[in-house]
Structure 1
Amino acid sequence: MDSLIKSHHPARHIKSFKYAFKGLFHALMNEANFRVEVVIASFFVSMGLLFGITLLEWALLILALGFLLSAEIMNTLIEEFMDHLIKEHHEGVRVIKDLSAAYVLTASITSLLVFVFIIWNYIFK
């Protein structure tokens, strides 16, 4: 029972947020692609503010951008893990990394399409 209480203590949750923000900061400081995607996301958000998009459009845009940034973090995680696990070149590792990169590409295309579909009506009214 004591361990159950400790596992739900607010301080433990705050500590886990601290680690999550450290990971986010690591991605921002060490991953060039993540920084590029943050700049792109900032541009998309700026355009949303400029055109005054609706609440539903904001929800879709934020979901798409969250998907994109999460995919990049997952890609980094997979690459780091595979590099740590297997030091020499291995065909299976190459396939795993290629699939991970394809995940980011899919998220990028999806985010771009969501942005285009939202902004299209505002530009071509």
Structure 2
Amino acid sequence: MFKKITKKISHAFDGLKHAVLFDIGFRTQVYLVIVLTFFVLLFLLPLTQTEFLFITLGYALVFITELQNSALEAALDKVHPEIHDNIKISKDMASAAVLGAVAFLFIVLIVIGLDRISIWT
């Protein structure tokens, strides 16, 4: 059983490695996080535990939805390589999920930032 679990974890890391090395969408999200983290560190520190939790949740949502989007796109491209309206809709909806996660992260950062400059309170 332990061997089965470690194999599954190994597959997960293989997928993450592939995303980092070969998926432009995922790498773009990583760069976005690096830039946003720089601004968070520059302007918003110190963070409360709740603020840290919401920012971390936002970053996690962006990464998770981007991985799911990339996996769906790769599978659909393999199964149905030619252009098809239903495939496009599926890909667009997965991309919309990523956009929603990014919007959530931006809203969290804006709310925390406004609180820092005392506009929100």
Q: Which moved more, 1:46-55 or 1:83-92?
A: 46-55
Bigger CA radius of gyration: 1
What is the identity percentage for the equivalent residue pairs of Structure 1 and Structure 2?
Answer: 25
Matched with 1:23 is 15
User: After superposition, where does 1:17-96 map in structure 2 within 5 Å?
Assistant: 17-50=9-42, 51-96=45-90
Name stretches of at least 5 consecutive residues in structure 1 with no aligned partner: 1-8
- Offset, 1:59: 0.7
What is the alpha-carbon root mean square deviation over aligned residues?
A: 1.6
* Contact 1:34–1:69 (Cα < 8 Å) also in 2: yes
- Offset, 1:46: 3.8
- Offset, 1:43: 3.2
**Which of 85, 95, 98 does residue 104 from structure 1 map onto?**
98
TM-score, normalization by structure 1: 0.83
* Contact 1:48–1:58 (Cα < 8 Å) also in 2: no
User: How many residues were matched structurally?
Assistant: 116
Give the secondary structure class of the aligned counterpart of 1:88: coil
Name stretches of at least 5 consecutive residues in structure 2 with no aligned partner: none
